Amino acid sequence: MEKKKTQKKISELDEKLKFEIAEELGLLDKVKQYGWKGLTAKETGRIGGLMTRRKKIMKEKGQQV
């Protein structure tokens, strides 16, 4: 049971981070209109790359990832 709660919490943090980055890149309106599948591979890759970078930084600072 504990594992599911942890995974759900991680997923919620990932979603929050994903939306935050999409907004910073100016893609949030596109996501709201077409959904995540409406993004190009380049846009999706950019979001994923920035998520990875931020998670690494957060981990180094000792914050919860």
Residue 26, pLDDT > 90, answer: yes
22: which residues sit within 8 A by CB, 6+ positions away? 28, 31, 47
Average pLDDT over residues 42-49: 96
What is the Cα–Cα distance from 60 to 33, expressed in whole angstroms?
35
What is the Cα–Cα distance from 24 to 1, expressed in whole angstroms?
35
For 44, other C-beta atoms within 10 Å of its C-beta total: 15
Strand segments (E) across the chain: none
What is the Cα–Cα distance from 59 to 54, expressed in whole angstroms?
8
If pLDDT is split at 50, 70 and 90, which confidence band does 5 have?
A: low
